[in-house]
Amino acid sequence: MTTVHPGCSPRERGPEADPDVRRTDEIIDALARRRPVGEDADAVVRLLRALAADVDQRLSSVSITPST
């Protein structure tokens, strides 16, 4: 809750209301779309990028056709 909008969190007001929320949303969107993220120094971003790469690698190695 904030003094500007006591009943609303920054996320409820939307990303344009708080630059930190907007930047976080941009990072999450870039990670979801497998696009480069400019936050290489951030350990959490590196971890999420590695996790996404691991999931992509595992999905690509799964056989879609059933064995007979």
Looking at residue 58, its pLDDT comes to 80
Three-class secondary structure of residue 6 per DSSP: coil
Within-domain flag for 17: yes
Domain that residue 21 falls in = 10-60
- 22 assigned to some structural domain: yes
| 66 in any annotated domain | no
Total domains in the fold of the chain: 1
7, two tokens: 């009943």
Render pLDDT for 12-66 as a digit per residue (tens, 0 to 9): 666 567 888 888 888 889 989 988 887 677 888 889 889 988 988 887 776 666 6
Contacts of 21 (CB under 8 A, 6+ apart): 10, 11, 14, 15
Say whether pLDDT at 1 is over 60. Answer: no
In a domain, 43, yes or no: yes
Rounded to whole angstroms, the Cα distance separating 54 from 43 reads: 16
How confident is the model at residue 11, as a pLDDT?
A: 60
Does residue 54 form part of some domain?
yes
How far apart CA 52 and CA 55 sit, in angstroms, is 5
pLDDT value of residue 62: 67
